A and B are shown apart, each in its own frame.
Chain A
Amino acid sequence: MTGRVLDLLTDRLTLALLVLTALMFGMPALKPLFAVLYPSLERPLYEADSFLALTADHLALVGLSSLGAVLVGCTAGIVVTRPSGAEFRGLLEAVATMGQTFPPVAVLAVAVPAIGFGVEPALIALTLYALLPIVENTVAGLEGVPASVLETARGLGMRPVEILLRVELPLAAPVILAGIRTAVIINVGTAAIASTVGAKTLGLPIIIGLNGSNPAYVIQGAAVVAVLAVVLDFGFDRLTFLLSRWRV
């Protein structure tokens, strides 16, 4: 029993989560620390929103855009690997690869003249950007299913839908998950910058701090979003491990 508790405590995901929770809830407790480090600052602690609320908003933006991207992107990836959609595959893959050379911050900025300010352009830009690695990885994952497995699945009498749901998608899952992971991590960073287009995220203290020469704000916002990103990355790592027990 102690062994398992010890394992849990030294597990890096748990540790990161603990740090994140501490920062989210306990940032006000650090106010004296920042007051000491930056005595010249009138306001050493960002208090306009709680870091808990900012984190929640940040996660909502990332989560919603990722969910949309998964729904659209995985569907597109599936359609394009079926005989009926194969014609579109080459172009879709080319667009997905090329799109990933576009810097995310530029895609975010370009969304504003098109859609306006606020959370909407951020949501659109993040969804579009998340689509690219997800589509690419869905196609790659489905393509990676061995031909012999597909042949026997057909030969044993599985219907095409059954083959997709019971064989192809589970086998492609680790690769698809890697794509989702890439998309989410990039989006956590872009969502922080999205404060410049009017979305409320953990980037807000950073941007306000940079504009108003308040390094305390910057550090507070930066610390929380950095730990958040690390927590999500460790989380995906764990999820990948759990999904891949059957792999060599």
Chain B
Amino acid sequence: MIRNRVLLVLAATAVAAALALPFLSFAPNRLLSGRGIALSAVLDLPWGVALLPGVVLLAAPFLRPSKTVLAATVTAAILFAAGLVGLAGQHAAQLAATAAPAARTSFGAGFWIMETAALLAALDGVRRLGLSPPLRIAVGAAALALVAVQVAAGHLDQLSILKEYANQRDVFVAAVVRHGVIVAASLVPTLLVGVPLGVLAQRSRAVGGIVFPVLNVVQTIPSIALFGLLLAPLSALAGALPQLGISGVGLAPAVIALTLYSLLPIVRNIAAGLDGVPDSVRQAARGMGMTPRQIFLRAEVPLALPVFLSGLRITLVQAVGLAAVAALIGAGGLGAIMFQGLFANALDLVLLGAVPVILFAVVVDAALKLLVALVARGAA
């Protein structure tokens, strides 16, 4: 009898992908398209063993979902996911031993589907177990760590994405740093302007009536358009006042645009957070003789904090994505690598830029969710 239809669907999808789709793709050089390599062709030891956890995943849908079974499913899924990566790395190394240096071995469609199915199986198991947010993040970190260890050990070096990384290591590191700088730099003006604006907007309906519609319109404008529209005034400003050290392209328009986009979530969440403070709390604080400043700092801020942090989370995740687009106006960062790959038809370069951007966003999201959970628990 089927006990876990979700897992069954995922397992079936993975099996179908393993049989029907290429696991890896091997091309003699960057320009030619690769030929597919099936999973069955790469099952050599020692990494072939890594597929054994897959047996657990095939059996688990028919077992009663007790805590043990679920924990075993999650563990098996993570191991299987890491094992697939290791298998790919092993085979890439084997191929590289006899091929020209320009040859590329990259992940095929089959790999991506199996990997996604495994990670979703882990996610499903984590959900059914009802783990708390910190524990869920720990599981995610473990999954990531199993791959990171392989990267650090050099096992995956012959996969095209890492060969690309090896070629571009300095550029890559500089791009990551730059990407972080753009996001962090925009955070300062966002908070400086957004926090007071949010407080004002919540207290005065007139202010709110102007601020929210304007910010809503800004939010609607496509990011690349906003970057573009900032070019002209900023170039003019740079031309008129060269001592400011800004120009129409690069960091300045990026930071300004990111700030503008970040204002709405911050302002909206501060206003909502303050709105959510019950009036009775404010009245009690006044009754106890607190000054308005004390009421704000000791009563309102702590209660509004979780909602504000949620807004900060949305802002930061959004900013990571916007910073990638800002590469188009010369701001640098991981987006530069991504677009360089797109313009030059170098697909592994594209992945080298895009995958870290996604990881960056996911990590920021998880970190802030953890922070919100800790603050909420502390407040309770």
Q: Interface of A with B (CB < 8 Å)? A: 87-88, 90-91, 94-95, 98, 101-107, 109-110, 112-114, 117, 185, 188-190, 192-193, 196-197, 203, 206-207, 209-210, 215, 218-219, 221-223, 225-226, 229-230, 233
Contacts and interface: CB of A to CB of B under 8 A. Distances in A.
A90 B127 contact: yes
Contacts of B351: 110, 113
Given A196-B339, A219-B229, A87 B222 contact: no
A112 B351 CA distance: 9
B228 interface: yes
Contacts of B166: none
A201 to B, nearest CB: 10
Given A103-B324, A222-B227, 18 more contacts: A90-B128, A91-B6, A95-B120, A95-B123, A103-B320, A104-B321, A105-B325, A106-B324, A106-B355, A110-B350, A114-B109, A189-B225, A193-B325, A215-B248, A223-B225, A223-B229, A225-B225, A229-B222
B223 A189 contact: yes
Given A219-B231, A221-B228, A101 B222 contact: no
Q: Name the residue among B225, B335, B355 with the largest chain A CB count within 10 angstroms.
A: B225
Question: Main SS of the interface on chain B?
Answer: helix
B6 A88 contact: yes
A188 B222 contact: yes
Contact of A98 (B217, B228, B362): B362
A101 B359 CA distance: 10
B220 A109 contact: no
Contact of B354 (A88, A91, A106, A117): A106
B355 A192 contact: no
Contacts of B63: none
B123 A109 contact: no
Contacts of B109: 114
A102 B361 contact: yes
Nearest to A112: B350
Contacts of B223: 189, 193
A40 to B, nearest CB: 12
Interface in B29-44: none
Nearest to B4: A87
B328 interface: yes
Given A185-B220, A207-B328, A106 B357 contact: yes
Contacts of B231: 215, 218-219
26 contacts: A90-B124, A90-B127, A101-B365, A102-B358, A102-B361, A105-B335, A105-B357, A106-B321, A106-B355, A106-B357, A110-B350, A110-B358, A112-B342, A189-B223, A189-B225, A203-B224, A210-B228, A222-B225, A222-B228, A222-B229, A225-B222, A226-B222, A229-B220, A230-B217, A233-B216, A233-B217
B348 interface: yes
B221 interface: yes
A180 to B, nearest CB: 15
Given A192-B224, A215-B232, A219-B228, A210 B5 contact: no
A232 B120 CA distance: 35
Given A101-B365, A105-B321, A197 B6 contact: no
A108 to B, nearest CB: 9
Contacts of A206: 224-225, 228
Contacts of B328: 193, 196, 207, 210
Contacts of B124: 90-91
Interface string B339-355: 10111010110110111
A34 to B, nearest CB: 11
A210 B362 contact: no
B350 A101 contact: no
A218 B227 CA distance: 9
Nearest to A224: B225
Nearest to B33: A116
Given A87-B6, A215-B231, A226 B358 contact: no
B317 interface: yes
A67 to B, nearest CB: 20
B354 to A, nearest CB: 4
